[in-house]
Amino acid sequence: MDIDSLRAAVAVSPDNIPLLQILAKALEDAFEINEAKNHYEKIIEIDPSQVQAHLGLIRILDLRGETSQAVVRLDVLCEKHPQCAEAWMLRARIAMDEEDAAAAGTWYAKAVALNASIADENLMKQIITAGGSISGEEAKRRKVTHDGSEVDDDDVCGGTMDDVLSRELDLEFRVKNTARFADVGGMEAVKEQIRMKIIFPLQNPALFASYGKKAGGGVLLYGPPGCGKTLMARATAGEIGANFFAIGIHHILNMYIGESENKLHQIFELARRNVPAVLFFDEMDALAADRRDMRQSAGRHLINQFLQELDGAIDNNDNILILGATNAPWHVDNAFLRPGRFDRIIFVPPPDAVAREEICRIHAQGRPLSVWDEKDLAKRTEGLSGADIKAVFDNATEVALTEAMRKGAVAPITGKMLTQSAKDVKPSTRKWFESAKNYALYSNQGGMYDEILVHLGIKK
Ligand SMILES: Nc1ncnc2c1ncn2[C@@H]1O[C@H](COP(=O)(O)OP(=O)(O)OP(=O)(O)O)[C@@H](O)[C@H]1O
Ligand SMILES: [Mg+2]
């Protein structure tokens, strides 16, 4: 309906609130603000509880430059109707016009927490660019407590500003991590490092402070595929009840020049607002490709930004554990390996016999197994990665399932099925060792890859 016919309709029924509301909004959209104002006022006169009319009137007052009046009315409205997301959003918008990014951030968070569908990415970007950040009740309520208790469900899918931001950044954010160290077989050296860097310091902050130590730091995990690097990162977050941010490097690299740096900065800022946090950078070699290899200066800028973020030059990284993972540490820029950055570089080899036994037990959980011999299976899976061992169990399960379908009754997975399956699964790490061996022999920077040589039996 056009404005003229709406006007005509209102002339016939001047007290029809829904009709008045439609006309007022249409006028507002057409910038007929004075006439719109009259109609909004009329509605409020008839029924003072009409929230939409109040909002309209406030928008118009703001448009006319009568901002202080608008703000006073908005205060009252928010107090009377604290559940009205649009009112908080309008408050954020006006605060932003007033260049109060901090307040805008608080109201924005409140608005999207009440109704995620009114999120306004442009406004959010403005707020962040202007230095605003999430604050207020929502942010506090949302944080995982240091004793490791978990956030509740509506929090996880809530619509706070950081949620919106992480969606925009294409991040896995605050994923509930049920995995624990107990779900990772072996990897004792890695677990120990992680305990010392973040778990114990979070539990005993005073003790660590007395030694001048804080929680956080960087650990780079490298090794062949399927040996539990990614699993370990998730388990770390689960273990400390921390927020977990998984960053696939392609998300950052696939950007226009300049945008990647900004994105990376936003990711670190997001983590800093949500400590304790585990920031996990997978495929580190892709991001941190040796600077000499980088022909474009764009890549160099990104690396420099990353180094600055790691150094906490921009802001501090207390209570943030930065985990990196790579299959190709030789392609990682040396600058990343200096103290204070990824200052622990840990080789994650295929599991030894004890670890394999553990991994077998982990993957046996929840499957209908008849009697089977863990030690024996550990022996038969020599050379296999954790992922390969999982495949042994998956394949044996399939055999048992086929049998169950044939018999029409549950058939357990037998030790024999597992042994056969172990014979069929080929080690997937061999190829990796072939190339790793060359790097370790001919480009072993300061003995960095000695562990690989020891693992291969080349060095004692
Ligand atoms: N140490 C382990 N304990 C238990 N399960 C494991 C272990 N290592 C690997 N697995 C199993 O293999 C799967 C794949 O492992 P994961 O993704 O962690 O390997 P990765 O080292 O990150 O490999 P890539 O280098 O290819 O990224 C895990 O989800 C898990 O099921
Ligand atoms: Mg991985």
Residue 254 has pLDDT above 70, yes or no: no
Domain 169-337 belongs in CATH node 3.40.470.10? no
The answer, yes or no, to whether any atom of ligand 1 lies below 6 A from the CB of 69, is no
Q: Whose CA is nearest to atom 17 of ligand 1?
A: 230
Q: What is the pLDDT of residue 141?
A: 37
pLDDT band at 134 (very low <50, low <70, confident <90, very high): low
Atom of ligand 1 nearest to the CA of 355: 1
pLDDT, tens only, 164-188: 777 766 666 655 567 899 999 999 9
Residue 158 has pLDDT above 90, yes or no: no
Mean pLDDT of 271-286: 87
The answer, yes or no, to whether any atom of ligand 1 lies below 6 A from the CB of 101, is no
**CB environment 52-73: b (16+ within 10 A), e (fewer):** bbbbbbbbbbbeeeebeebbeb
Q: What is the pLDDT of residue 391?
A: 96
The answer, yes or no, to whether any atom of ligand 1 lies below 6 A from the CB of 132, is no
The single-letter DSSP state of residue 289 is B
Q: Whose CA is nearest to atom 10 of ligand 1?
A: 386
In terms of C-beta density within 10 A (0-12 exposed, 13-18 middle, 19 or more buried), how is residue 406 classed? exposed
Mean pLDDT of 394-421: 91
Residue 366 has pLDDT above 70, yes or no: yes
Residue 163 has pLDDT above 90, yes or no: no
Q: What is the pLDDT of residue 290?
A: 47
Atom of ligand 1 nearest to the CA of 232: 18
Domain 3-132 belongs in CATH node 1.25.40.10? yes
Side chain identity at residue 148, one-letter code: G
The answer, yes or no, to whether any atom of ligand 1 lies below 6 A from the CB of 386, is yes
Å from CA of 365 to ligand 2 middle = 22
pLDDT band at 1 (very low <50, low <70, confident <90, very high): low
Q: What is the pLDDT of residue 446?
A: 83
pLDDT band at 297 (very low <50, low <70, confident <90, very high): low
The answer, yes or no, to whether any atom of ligand 1 lies below 6 A from the CB of 227, is yes
Its pTM stands at 0.65
Contact 419, 375 (CB under 8 A): no
pLDDT band at 266 (very low <50, low <70, confident <90, very high): confident
Q: Whose CA is nearest to atom 6 of ligand 1?
A: 386
Q: What is the pLDDT of residue 126?
A: 84
Q: What is the pLDDT of residue 47?
A: 92
The answer, yes or no, to whether any atom of ligand 1 lies below 6 A from the CB of 418, is no
Boundaries of every domain in the chain: 3-132, 169-337, 353-424
Mean pLDDT of 74-97: 91
Residue 314 has pLDDT above 80, yes or no: no
Q: Distance between CA 191 and CA 181 in Å, rounded?
A: 7
Q: Which residue has the tokens 């495929």?
A: 283
Å from CA of 237 to ligand 1 middle = 16
Higher-pLDDT residue of 253 and 116 is: 116
The answer, yes or no, to whether any atom of ligand 1 lies below 6 A from the CB of 231, is yes
Distance set, CA 405 to CA 199, 232, 369, 394, 414 (Å) = 47, 36, 16, 16, 16
Q: Whose CA is nearest to atom 1 of ligand 1?
A: 185
The answer, yes or no, to whether any atom of ligand 1 lies below 6 A from the CB of 185, is yes
Which ligand sits nearest to residue 328's alpha carbon?
Answer: 1
Residue 406 has pLDDT above 70, yes or no: yes
Ligand 1, from 326, 381, 390, 392: best to mutate by most atoms within 8 Å of Cβ? Answer: 390
Q: What percent of the chain has pLDDT over 90?
A: 41
Q: What is the pLDDT of residue 452?
A: 94
Which ligand sits nearest to residue 236's alpha carbon?
Answer: 1
Q: Please enumerate in sequence order all residues whose Cβ is within 8 A of that of 70, keeping only pairs 6 or more positions apart, or say none.
A: 58, 59, 61, 62, 94
Å from CA of 224 to ligand 2 middle = 9
Which ligand sits nearest to residue 234's alpha carbon?
Answer: 1
Q: What is the pLDDT of residue 203?
A: 87
CATH level 3 topology of 353-424: Helicase, Ruva Protein; domain 3 (1.10.8)
Å from CA of 250 to ligand 1 middle = 20
Residue 129 has pLDDT above 50, yes or no: yes
Q: What is the pLDDT of residue 157?
A: 35
Residue 351 has pLDDT above 90, yes or no: yes
Range from 5-19, 207-221, 250-264 carrying the lowest mean pLDDT: 250-264
Mean pLDDT of 196-206: 89
Mean pLDDT of 268-286: 87
pLDDT, tens only, 419-449: 999 999 999 999 999 999 999 999 888 888 9
**Helix 161-168 vs helix 101-114: angle between axes, to the nearest 10 degrees?**
90
Contact 378, 353 (CB under 8 A): yes
The answer, yes or no, to whether any atom of ligand 1 lies below 6 A from the CB of 233, is no
Å from CA of 276 to ligand 1 middle = 24
Mean pLDDT of 189-210: 90
Atom of ligand 1 nearest to the CA of 233: 18
